[in-house]
A and B are shown apart, each in its own frame.
Chain A
Amino acid sequence: EVQLVESGGGLVQPGRSLKLSCLASGFTFSNYGMNWIRQAPGKGLEWVASISSSSSYIYYADTVKGRFTISRDNAKNTLYLQMTSLRSEDTALYYCARHSYYGYNRDWGQGVMVTVSS
């Protein structure tokens, strides 16, 4: 069974940093690209970043480019999202998702909440 378990969320002040983790199990992590997708309270889904299986290709939404860094450790089956210069508009539930060969999100974690507020 595929499992994606996010952690590292919490309440943080504007301008500060936070690092999210996503521990994967139930599949060969190193064979799949991974994504971070977020959902502000009561709002829709927003793609944040993608990373290929070997970290060769990385993409970011314009809203986070230059502030967020996606990375992975295939030896630890873990995906990361380093978030810096956080803003109130980054407040959201952050999901990690497994990328299919074609590009859709076939499996999602339960999400981790990030609240940016003073």
Chain B
Amino acid sequence: DIRMTQSPASLSASLGETVNIECLASEDIYSDLAWYQQKPGKSPQLLIYNANSLQNGVPSRFSGSGSGTQYSLKINSLQSEDVATYFCQQYNNYPRTFGGGTKLELK
């Protein structure tokens, strides 16, 4: 199974700040990586797919990058509505696996 190690587990940042979340795969996943945002009490929402493609309707302050085993999600100019937990997921192979999540809070 491909293990997805996400860091940090929690993060506190100020409005307008830039935030980076990392996801490390235990083997090459060839950019088959998605990022999801889950707000409290809500279902996850797709932000990024294929490592760097922005889902329709997602603000351009979100971006994804990476290749091979290392990937990252960047949030520019943090807004209050970005408070959420973020998950990465690989879909290169079964079983599909998720990172443990990063809980983003406002400082």
Contact = CB atoms under 8 A, between A and B. Distances in A.
A100 B92 CA distance: 13
B98 interface: yes
Contact of A104 (B49, B97, B99, B101): B49
Interface in B1-45: 32, 34, 36, 43-45
A95 B43 contact: yes
A61 B98 CA distance: 12
A107 B55 CA distance: 11
Contacts of B95: 47, 59, 61-62
B98 A44 contact: yes
A10 B91 CA distance: 30
Q: Size band of the A side of the interface?
A: 20 to 34
Contacts, number: 56
Nearest to A111: B43
Interface string B73-107: 00000000000000101011011111111000000
A109 to B, nearest CB: 7
Interface of B: 32, 34, 36, 43-46, 49-50, 55, 87, 89, 91-92, 94-101
Q: Report the 3 A-B pairs with minimum CB-CB distance, sorted nearest first.
A: A103-B91, A104-B34, A47-B96
8 contacts: A47-B97, A47-B98, A59-B95, A100-B49, A102-B50, A104-B34, A104-B46, A108-B44
Interface of A: 35, 44-47, 50, 59, 61-62, 95, 100, 102-111
